[in-house]
Amino acid sequence: MSTSQPLLQVRGLTVGYGRRLGRSSPVVRGIDLDVQRGEVLAIVGESGSGKSTAVRGIAQLLPATAGTVRFDGQDLTSLSRRELRAKRRDLQMIFQDPYSSLDPAMRILDSVGEPLRVHTSMDARERRTTVVEMLQAVGLREEHADRYPQEFSGGQRQRIAIARALILRPQLLIADEAVSALDVSTQNQVLRLLEDLIAELGIACLFITHDLGVVRDIADRVAVMYLGTVVEVGPTDEVFARPQHPYTQALLSAALIADPVVQRQRRRTKLEGDLPDPTNPPAGCLFHTRCPLVVDRCRTEVPLQRRSGGADVACHLVEPDPDADHDPADPETQETSA
């Protein structure tokens, strides 16, 4: 049983901000996510839907107020700081702004080599060799090791951040809008590099982006977030070909995707209004205030995730598969299986 365990298994993760550690204002509400070893899971959803908060909660950069984050067999939320530090070598993160991981006062050699210094017993010479190899793997050269972050372009800095994140060959890389700040052609280059490296090293990736074209290119599965919840999650091909949640349909129909199949399948669902205040969400289905298909039930009853087609969808209007006998998010089926 343990061999089929996902690398990352998030259950009921709730994260918020504020002095009371989110108790008063969660912006991520009890999400469930799985990432298998070597898999790329994209998280999409409009700005403010809680994507960054969710992955920061997963990486333990923000405290969870509820839920568990099982990573490689251990619940990260229950680890001591020391244990967590040891786990970090297997769970690395890159951000939109590489300055958040690159100290401007440190040479590239020291920034990229820092994880080696913290987590391995390599001496300075071995570290230099390993850093130079990694720099070459991300398309940079040996002499770059002795320079400082501000001497590089944005695209090069992101390559350096990638080198640093991957130098210990982590099991999971979390990339939060990692290329969003770059110009389009640089984005493509850095994305291709990232895609090649994680495939080559067999690293699983939790990939946040607002670019649905990129999702289609690189993600095995995609999770759609709305107002701090996962409304639909499934294989990328499946979700793009047959989006089931009205929010997913709206998101896809808003995107310009040069794909005749997606174009054809696309329903004309237009998203009206703004995202509600996540600290004061609507009752019932969180999407009901903007949903073009809303019915009475949506205003009062929270929809549970149900298996439909290849995806898990949280919408009252979606017919669950007749053979969907076990829904991990459904407390009723959990009781019977316990």
Q: Give the interface with ligand ADP as residue ranges (CB under 6 A).
A: 17, 27, 45, 47-53, 278
- Residue with Cβ nearer Mg ion (52 or 60): 52
> What distance lies between CA 293 and its chain's CA centroid?
28
Q: Which residues contact 248 (CB under 8 A, 6 or more apart)?
A: 224, 231, 232, 239
Q: Answer with the entry of ligand ADP, Mg ion, none that 234 interacts with (C-beta below 5 to 8 A by kind).
A: none
Q: How is 19-48 classified by DSSP, letter by letter?
A: TTTTSS-EEEEEEEEEE-TT-EEEEE--TT
- Residue with Cβ nearer ligand ADP (17 or 148): 17
User: In angstroms, what is the minimal distance from the CB of 115 to Mg ion?
Assistant: 24
Q: Which residues pair with 9 in a beta bridge?
A: 34, 70
d(CA 199, CA 195): 6
> Are the CB atoms for 197 and 204 separated by under 8 Å?
no
- Residue with Cβ nearer ligand ADP (121 or 280): 280
User: In angstroms, what is the minimal distance from the CB of 248 to ligand ADP?
Assistant: 15
User: In angstroms, what is the minimal distance from the CB of 277 to Mg ion?
Assistant: 17
Q: Answer with the entry of ligand ADP, Mg ion, none that 99 interacts with (C-beta below 5 to 8 A by kind).
A: none
Q: Answer with the entry of ligand ADP, Mg ion, none that 98 interacts with (C-beta below 5 to 8 A by kind).
A: none
User: In angstroms, what is the minimal distance from the CB of 62 to ligand ADP?
Assistant: 9
E strand or H helix at 231, and its extent?
Answer: strand 229-235
> What distance lies between CA 161 and its chain's CA centroid?
17
Segment contacting Mg ion (CB under 5 A): 13-21, 49-57, 215-223, 247-255? 49-57
Q: Where are the alpha helices (H) located in 226-337, listed in sequence order?
A: 236-241, 246-254, 260-265, 331-337
Q: Answer with the entry of ligand ADP, Mg ion, none that 26 interacts with (C-beta below 5 to 8 A by kind).
A: none
- CA dihedral for 38, 209, 197, 116, sign (positive or negative): negative
> Are the CB atoms for 27 and 279 separated by under 8 Å?
yes
User: In angstroms, what is the minimal distance from the CB of 17 to ligand ADP?
Assistant: 3
Query: Which amino acid, residue 196?
Result: D
Q: Answer with the entry of ligand ADP, Mg ion, none that 50 interacts with (C-beta below 5 to 8 A by kind).
A: ligand ADP
Q: Please report whether residue 209 would count as binding Mg ion according to CB under 5 A.
A: no
- Residue with Cβ nearer ligand ADP (10 or 27): 27
- Residue with Cβ nearer ligand ADP (27 or 145): 27
E strand or H helix at 154, and its extent?
Answer: helix 154-166
Q: Which residues pair with 225 in a beta bridge?
A: 230
- Residue with Cβ nearer ligand ADP (52 or 77): 52
Q: Please report whether residue 53 would count as binding Mg ion according to CB under 5 A.
A: no
Q: Please report whether residue 52 would count as binding Mg ion according to CB under 5 A.
A: yes
State the helix-helix crossing angle for 108-119 and 154-166, rounded to 10 degrees: 20
- Residue with Cβ nearer ligand ADP (51 or 144): 51
User: In angstroms, what is the minimal distance from the CB of 138 to ligand ADP?
Assistant: 25
Binding site for Mg ion (CB under 5 A): 52
